[in-house]
Homo-oligomer: A and B are copies of this chain.
Amino acid sequence: MIGINKIGVYIPENRISNLTKLSKFETDEDFIINKIGIEKVSLKNKDEDVSDMCVKAFENLNSKGTIDCNIIKAIILVTQNPESNIPHTSAIIHDKLKLPSDCACFDISLGCSGYVYGLSVLKSFMQTNNIENALLFTCDPYSKIMDMEDKNTSLLFGDAASVTYLSNKSPLFSIEKFTFGTIGKESHNLTAGINGSKLFMNGRGIYNFVIRNIPNDLKKLYELNSIKESQVDRFLFHQGSKYMLDALTKRMKLDPAKVIFGASKYGNTVSSSIPLLLNEDIDNENGSKHIVLSGFGVGLSWSSTLLIKLK
């Protein structure tokens, strides 16, 4: 059975403190710490781009047990800020990791829901094509497209990369059934153009979208996977903001102890937000048995799934 074996992450060491921007944005510490919940955002070095960050995430993965690159037969990179339009950045990662020539590589364009979609796409692709070992990368450095003078985005988004090793050899988690959704007519709430047009976000529009759709989606997910909400040990939601997670928790009457907000020291890292949290859960000896993942944002779109710990 194909499942998640382990995760590697890269969060740039450079952090910008939002507390230094209080007067600039006419805000206060309470708003930073208790509402958006993001004290610092991570910022990549100017000379590192998406493939470099992915390689660093892979080095972290490799430090947890060496991976023979010759057995990797597929990689997917989830990003909306690739290094170039042509080629896809996964081909550059292919070169840097010296992966074999019979390795399928492609990028998927999705944002905050992208990790969960990516898990489904890669697992399906592996199953159908009889692939035993593959890597799912996420890296979407919004610092490339953010206007640092924009309060709506520059206090929220941080840079990071992750790589998830999927394998049919003694995986740590099974990957159960998925839900997916898109409301394209609301896509105008989160945009960035070609040719340097900057990131725009209407936070209220996204908040409404999340509150309207995610609670119902999770009910569908429980039913699809024949599980009760009370059996779920951990909810790893996309880390939009503390405010959004608090609202979701309240709306769904979830146990707040089961809902993790972990982005306070690096920010909303888009498609890397969920694998960063999952990685922490894996590293914890008392890691969770039943984990719900739910990503939502750009598109506007969402996807949710259930992981079950196997050992």
A positions within 8 Å CB-CB of B: 73-74, 80-96, 99, 101-111, 114, 117, 120-121, 123-125, 127-129, 145, 177-185, 187, 190-197, 199, 213, 298-301, 303
Given contacts A193-B85, A195-B195, contact A178 B129 (CB under 8 A): yes
Contact of A110 among B101, B106, B145, B181 (CB under 8 A): B106
Contact of A86 among B84, B183, B191 (CB under 8 A): B191
Distance of A231 from chain B, by nearest CB (Å):
22
Given contacts A80-B86, A111-B87, contact A105 B299 (CB under 8 A): yes
CB-defined contacts of A183 to chain B, threshold 8 Å: 94, 101
9 contacts between A and B (CB under 8 A): A81-B85, A92-B187, A102-B180, A106-B108, A106-B121, A108-B108, A120-B125, A123-B128, A124-B124
The distance in angstroms between the C-alpha atoms of A177 and B167, with both chains bound, is: 21
Contact of A121 among B96, B121, B180, B199 (CB under 8 A): B121
CB-defined contacts of A181 to chain B, threshold 8 Å: 101-104
This protein's copies in its complex:
2
Contact of A87 among B85, B123, B191 (CB under 8 A): B191
| A86-B199 in contact (CB<8A) | yes
Distance of A211 from chain B, by nearest CB (Å):
15
Q: Which residue of B lies closest to A102 (CB)?
A: B181
CB-defined contacts of A192 to chain B, threshold 8 Å: 84-86
The distance in angstroms between the C-alpha atoms of A277 and B299, with both chains bound, is: 32
Distance of A282 from chain B, by nearest CB (Å):
24
| B80-A145 in contact (CB<8A) | no
| A104-B303 in contact (CB<8A) | yes
The distance in angstroms between the C-alpha atoms of A92 and B196, with both chains bound, is: 20
Distance of A143 from chain B, by nearest CB (Å):
14
CB-defined contacts of A179 to chain B, threshold 8 Å: 102
| A299-B91 in contact (CB<8A) | yes
